[in-house]
């Protein structure tokens, strides 16, 4: 029941009670007849009762004809223009060409949410991208720069080089109001088929590190709306046409969608990308556990972050970080592990030991960054530990 319907029913109940009471009085206080016309004169109570009766009928009419909710199709037409396809180019190592960096293309989804030309997407779509191109439903393509990206929460912020023509941004909704069972819909480019609509419901709300082996340090909404490769970074809408989530990933044993899709809540995305200092490292990391760390001769506690790829003109490139040179397929996965790159041991003196305490401390350091603050890393390169440092300079493009 909508809030409007509840209000009408409440008023209807109150008015009906008044009408009954007033009509009861009017039967007892009917006025005298007019000596000239012979008609009965109405007292103030009778006139009041008739007025109340009119209000009752008006309330009934409103209850029978509440404001019509928009259909999914109507909402799709309203918001689709703001949904985008994101094309990326990045350098990586492939099995066929070891020791060589090859430029490869990637694709994902996103959405325009401000008049300033800001686009939101998933971090894994653009984290190590050298170039980013955003395509709108009209076919217009605009270059974009990565302003901020948080891989642990899988959200990223892009800034368009120019504003699109005739596109109305979508609104970020309050994801705290979303409930399990609510109907939702997703627009994106699954398997490269752009501006595809899928519909489903919110299946659950997951807390940070409670899904995908704890890799995502952000609140998630689980959904049964179909999600496939290419949907990453696209918007999930509520039935008011507001964005309440950014598509992140699926859990599947087949590689295709099996009903377990996850999105980062809009409130988390808003906080990380719009309320915290912007930071884009431009580095694609692989988390080294203690077992793998012993094999790679990482000093105790044998943990760290293995550098896979480094984007051009990024913080990682300014620091001098080196990516890997040899691609090793990961059994049972379409992903690969790129070996031979730097292993980051610590950030701002905090060791990457895989504990929640360390991750929380690193988040606190990131929140406290100010322009000019030194960013300091200790890395392991060819068996030696090196310290790297550059001043923090936010990449904000307006």
b/e map of 112-129 (b: 16 or more CB within 10 Å)?
bbbeebbbbbbbbbbbbb
User: CA 177, 212, 147: angle at the middle one, nearest 5?
Assistant: 70
Would you place residue 25 in the very low, low, confident or very high pLDDT band (cuts 50, 70, 90)?
Answer: very low
The predicted structure's pLDDT at residue 396:
55
Percent of the chain residues topping a pLDDT of 90: 61
Average pLDDT value for the chain: 83
First to last CA, the chain: 43
Task: Estimate the crossing angle of helix 3-28 against helix 44-64, to 10 degrees.
Answer: 160
Mention every residue, 6+ apart, whose C-beta is less than 8 A from residue 19. 49, 52, 53, 55, 56
Among 6-20, 26-40, 66-80, 271-285, which range has the highest average pLDDT? 271-285
Is pLDDT above 90 for 387? yes
Arithmetic mean of pLDDT, 107-133: 97
Among 222-236, 326-340, 342-356, which range has the highest average pLDDT? 222-236
More confident residue, 353 or 146: 146
Cα 266 off chain centre by: 5
Arithmetic mean of pLDDT, 369-382: 93
More confident residue, 45 or 294: 294
Arithmetic mean of pLDDT, 51-78: 66
Nearest alpha carbon to residue 182 among 210, 204, 211:
204
Is pLDDT above 80 for 18? no
174: left (phi over 0), alpha (psi -120 to 50) or beta: beta
The predicted structure's pLDDT at residue 179:
97
Nearest alpha carbon to residue 255 among 236, 229, 286:
229
Domains, in order of start, for the chain:
3-64 (no CATH), 69-276 (2.40.10.120), 283-391 (2.30.42.10)
């Amino acid at each position: 029941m909508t809030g409007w319907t509840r209000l009408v029913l409440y008023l209807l109940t109150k008015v009906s009670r008044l009408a009954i009471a007033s009509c009861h009085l009017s039967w007892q206080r009917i006025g005298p007849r007019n000596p000239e016309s012979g008609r009965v004169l109405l007292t103030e109570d009778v006139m009041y009762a008739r007025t109340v009766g009119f209000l009752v009928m008006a309330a009934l009419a409103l209850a029978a004809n509440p404001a019509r909710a928009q259909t999914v199709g109507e909402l799709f037409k309203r918001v689709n223009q703001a949904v985008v396809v994101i094309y990326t180019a990045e350098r990586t190592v492939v099995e066929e060409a070891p020791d060589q960096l090859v430029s490869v293309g990637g694709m994902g989804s996103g959405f325009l949410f401000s008049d300033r030309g800001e686009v939101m997407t998933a971090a894994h779509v653009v984290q190590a991208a050298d170039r980013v191109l955003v395509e709108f439903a009209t076919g217009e393509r605009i270059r974009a720069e990565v302003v901020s990206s948080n891989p642990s929460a899988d959200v990223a912020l892009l800034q368009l080089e120019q504003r699109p023509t005739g596109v109305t941004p979508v609104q970020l909704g309050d994801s705290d109001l979303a409930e399990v069972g609510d109907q939702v819909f997703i627009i994106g480019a699954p398997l490269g088929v752009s501006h595809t609509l899928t519909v489903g419901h919110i299946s659950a709300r997951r807390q940070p590190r409670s899904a995908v082996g704890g890799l995502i340090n952000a609140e998630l909404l689980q959904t049964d709306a179909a999600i496939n490769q290419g949907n990453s970074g696209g918007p999930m809408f509520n039935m008011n046409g507001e964005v309440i989530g950014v598509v992140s990933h699926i859990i599947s044993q087949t590689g295709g969608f099996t009903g377990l899709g996850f999105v980062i809540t809009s409130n988390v995305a808003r906080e990380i990308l719009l309320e915290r200092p912007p930071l884009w490292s431009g580095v694609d990391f692989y988390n080294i556990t203690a077992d793998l760390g012993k094999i790679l001769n990482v000093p105790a506690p044998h943990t760290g972050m293995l550098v896979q790829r480094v984007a051009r003109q990024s913080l990682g490139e300014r620091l001098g970080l080196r990516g890997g040179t040899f691609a090793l397929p990961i059994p049972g996965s379409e992903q690969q592990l790129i070996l031979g790159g730097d292993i980051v041991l610590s950030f701002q003196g905090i060791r990457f030991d895989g504990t929640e305490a360390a991750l929380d401390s690193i988040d606190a350091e990131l929140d406290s960054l100010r322009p000019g603050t030194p960013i300091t890393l200790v890395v392991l390169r060819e068996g030696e530990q090196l310290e790297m440092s550059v001043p923090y300079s936010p990449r904000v493009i307006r």
